[in-house]
Structure 1
Amino acid sequence: MSATSALPRQVKALIVARAVNQLGGFSLAFLTVLLNRSFGASLAMAGVVSALFGLATIPSRLAGGRLADRWGRRRTIVAGLVGLALAQLGLAAAPGLIAAMVCALLMGLAFELFEPPSQATIADAVPPAGRASAFELLTTAVAAGSLAAGLIADVVGRWSLRWLFVVDAGTGLACAVIVWLALALAPDAVPRRDDQSSADSTSAASQVGHANLAGPAIVPAPAASPWRDRALLLVTASGTVFALVSMLMLTALPLSLGAVGLNPANAGLIMAASTATLVLARPVLRTRLAKLPHAATFAVGYLLMAAGFGGYALAHTLPTLLLPTALYSLGNLLVMGRSFAVVSELAPTEASARYLAVYGSSWGVATLLAPLVATWLIGVSGPASLWTVSALACAVMAVAQPWVVRRVQGLRDDLGVIHSTKPMADRYDAVSI
């Protein structure tokens, strides 16, 4: 029996639902340009509104974890998807800038609600030995949805930017229906910590303490709060830089295309090319780079991203953007996967969700800052300066991030943490590359 066929029904349905939801997933990239072109906001004002959206995603993610404990996971996932869809429909139908700003803020408050319960549902429903296959399937399904989404964005965006948000709302509602029906018979509450067997603590090393590709893995010591874990905070700080350059790419791409005389809707084609690159290159990456140490993988990833951004600074036609897009996409995939691997190694078994939530807050900060930085740099000196700054930031991180990995290991050694030599390839197969 294959790993895929052995997955629980609710996990398969959740993966299908996320792929359906991803079909409209490129509307966020057009939020700033929509406010600028359809509602008459200045470039600076559009950036501020998009930043407020990003600010709202931080409490949204934290609320998702709390609501999952109180309402149950299925209700929280559905509430988040429906709330987001209603806000998107309101934005598409907004009569003026004020109404559009309110709807954008409501979008941010609903945007991350479904992430914590979705991740927890997969983690709890699948035994440790099958989790890599489950998340690998999720990654593939979301990538397939993203590929189609890029094509949809290119077609619909040429007609009307508002309709991009209508399409996204429709896919979100379809996802909510699938989740509601598929998880109807599944447990809807998070298992209480006092109901877990004592074996959970003794199996912590086998679940999160597999060997670090840079050396022995970290079996973390118990921490009262993730916010007091200096190693996690250091990883989160470096992760915020990565999240910021990633969000700059997403937020600024349509604006930069318009600034050089191209149709902003072409961003959909570029994103589709990005996703196709990841799907086609994944088998090669898994065989060639899967066994590289964390530090080396971070360095390679950031250098590829820097090369991609540098190519963007020089490119002014759609064909010349394709190679930089491929380089950026491959680098982004490498850095993204290893970042989650490092956080997972740091997290105690009983606090993995809280650790991932703290690390995930870096994306909220990046979503807040990215539109402000992008609109300011493009407005002052054009898109070439934005991509040049992004390339330089990635070049710096190619040196800084390996230091962070070594520093995190040193902090754990200072605390006298026990190490394990058990291979971690199975656990991080899906998330590393």
Structure 2
Amino acid sequence: MRAMRGWFQDTTGGLPKTFWYLWTGTLINRLGSFVLIFLAIYLTQVRGFSATQAGLVLGMWGAGGAVGTTIGGMLADRWGRRPTLLTAHLGGAVMMLALGFTRDLWTVAAGALLLGLFAEAARPAFGAMMIDVVPKRDRLRAFSLNYWAINLGFACAAVLAGFAAQAGYLLLFVVNASTTVVTALIIFVKVRETRTVTVATRQSAAPTGALRTILSDRVYLGFVALNLLGALIFLQHISMLPIAMADSGLSPATYGTVIALNGVLIVVGQLFVPRLIRGRSRSHVLALASVVVGVGFGLTAFADVAWFYGLTVLVWTIGEMLNSPSNATLIAELSPDELRGRYQGVFSLSWQLAGATAPILGGLVREQAGNAALWFGCAAIGALMAIGHLLSGPARERRALALRTAGSAPVVTIQSSAPAPTAPQAAEPVATTRG
């Protein structure tokens, strides 16, 4: 028992209060993240769209997200993290409800585009705020805890959404919008602006200078390109996997239960991963993760019953668990302080580009070359990623070391023009023991 208490203190202790408010908002938001999990099933079974048309709608979501992360990263650095988060969450809630009432293909696609824009505009601001408030020594476990909350919410949402869909798919949109609003309220009441800007390099943070800096950062762009390949694999779990399971005669509720295994495994094991990989080469960890993810998705080619689909999910989830903490800390260390929001935005852009292309490519490959070709292709991409991480890892570590040793200029905190209102102090949330 004493060892367990020590482990719990080592895992959760000493993190700032703002982190726990963000963590709580993440958990609540993910508990209601019904729509994206079941959107492919909703589009094909309720709206009667083909796999290619469903892929188009999901692709529009990704295209909107690509624009959203770009805008969100810029606003996080220039306007502030807090107002960007509030605007993105409230806009996302409105568009979530609007999407639930749309019917024809092109209206649904337009709604998905706008929803992706608002929903993903929050991602760079959130990531930048996490880096702002958590000291470097604590970031690995802080990002692991946040990832744990994401997957705890996802696991519960996947199961609950399967049953909620039986009462009517509109309920999925309503619940998803509601939890997004609750998250915005937590940020409005409890979270203050965290953005800082270095006086000596303020000019370099101008849009033109920022874009030039990022485009010339070949090490970081190479890292982003590898993440894009990984996202092309991973996003098949919400686009082609539910369609493949439906073709095997499995119900939406069964898909919800199977995909919830992803979250359950992460909830059970993710908090132990930082200790497992601490001190190990990040490039080797990321290469191993890429291979495991590729193998997991590749095995889907042989699946035709629920337990086999569940096995494939468990395999690629292990790779996901290894990948996430190393990815998060690398992004933080490769981002110059004054450009954190934009660097977060560029990294998030890789996910949105994959979100725009993965469903369309997956649908086309599946319809033109067959189900097996899609999943074997995912395995091949995983192997390619592993080679890329091994080759580019030393340059990334040199770049991170150079940024650490360069030092920081004096900083001035830039507060939002509308600081958080005073509210009664609540007890600090404590994590208990689901991208």
Stretch moving more, 93-102 or 235-244: 93-102
Q: 2:275 and 2:18 mapped to 1: Cα distance?
A: 31
Q: 1:418 and 1:69 mapped to 2: Cα distance?
A: 19
Match of 2:184 in 1: 176
Q: 2:346 and 2:331 mapped to 1: Cα distance?
A: 10
Give yes or no for contact 1:259–1:383 (8 Å, CA) kept in 2.
no
Please point out which of 52, 77, 82 is paired with 2:60.
52
Match of 2:143 in 1: 135
> Closer, same or farther in 2 for the Cα pair 1:354/1:419, shift >3 Å?
closer
Match of 2:428 in 1: none
Give yes or no for contact 1:32–1:371 (8 Å, CA) kept in 2.
no
Instruction: Count residues with an aligned counterpart.
Output: 390
Give yes or no for contact 2:70–2:342 (8 Å, CA) kept in 1.
no
Q: 1:181 and 1:284 mapped to 2: Cα distance?
A: 32
> Closer, same or farther in 2 for the Cα pair 1:322/1:95, shift >3 Å?
closer
Q: Secondary structure at the residue paired with 1:277?
A: helix
Please point out which of 274, 279, 284 is paired with 1:296.
284
Give the drift of 1:400. 3.0
Q: 2:166 and 2:74 mapped to 1: Cα distance?
A: 40
> Closer, same or farther in 2 for the Cα pair 1:175/1:66, shift >3 Å?
same
Alignment of 1:30 with 2:38, yes or no, is: yes
Q: 2:154 and 2:186 mapped to 1: Cα distance?
A: 19
Match of 1:423 in 2: none
Q: Could you list the runs of 5+ residues in structure 1 that have no partner in the other structure?
A: 198-221, 421-433
* Counterparts of residues 145-156 of structure 1 (less than 5 Å): 145-156=153-164
Match of 1:376 in 2: 364
Give the drift of 1:77. 1.3
Give the drift of 1:245. 0.7
Match of 2:242 in 1: 254
Match of 2:429 in 1: none
Q: 2:395 and 2:75 mapped to 1: Cα distance?
A: 35
Give the drift of 1:303. 2.2
Q: 1:117 and 1:408 mapped to 2: Cα distance?
A: 23
Q: String of CA shifts for 1:2-55, please: whole Å, max 9, x gaps.
A: 574644443322211110000122421332332233223332222222212211
Q: Secondary structure at the residue paired with 1:41?
A: coil
Give yes or no for contact 2:124–2:341 (8 Å, CA) kept in 1.
yes
* Counterparts of residues 48-197 of structure 1 (less than 5 Å): 48-69=56-77, 71-183=79-191, 186=192, 188=193, 190-194=195-199
Using the aligned pairs only, state the percent identity: 27
Give the drift of 1:328. 0.3
TM-score (norm 1): 0.81
Q: 2:226 and 2:144 mapped to 1: Cα distance?
A: 25
Alignment of 1:340 with 2:328, yes or no, is: yes
Give the drift of 1:390. 0.8
Give yes or no for contact 1:20–1:171 (8 Å, CA) kept in 2.
yes
Q: Could you list the runs of 5+ residues in structure 2 that have no partner in the other structure?
A: 1-5, 203-209, 406-435
Stretch moving more, 82-91 or 25-34: 25-34
Give yes or no for contact 2:197–2:338 (8 Å, CA) kept in 1.
no
Give yes or no for contact 1:73–1:117 (8 Å, CA) kept in 2.
yes
Give the drift of 1:189. 6.5
Where relative contact order (Cα < 8 A, 6+ residues apart) is larger, the structure is 2
Q: Secondary structure at the residue paired with 2:346?
A: helix
RMSD: 3.0
Task: Tell me which amino acid in the other structure corresponds to 1:303.
Answer: V
Q: String of CA shifts for 1:170-225, please: whole Å, max 9, x gaps.
A: 21112112221223xx3x3633332999xxxxxxxxxxxxxxxxxxxxxxxx9961
Task: Tell me which amino acid in the other structure corresponds to 1:192.
Answer: V
* Counterparts of residues 183-262 of structure 1 (less than 5 Å): 183=191, 186=192, 188=193, 190-194=195-199, 225-262=213-250
Give the drift of 1:251. 1.9
Q: 1:240 and 1:117 mapped to 2: Cα distance?
A: 20
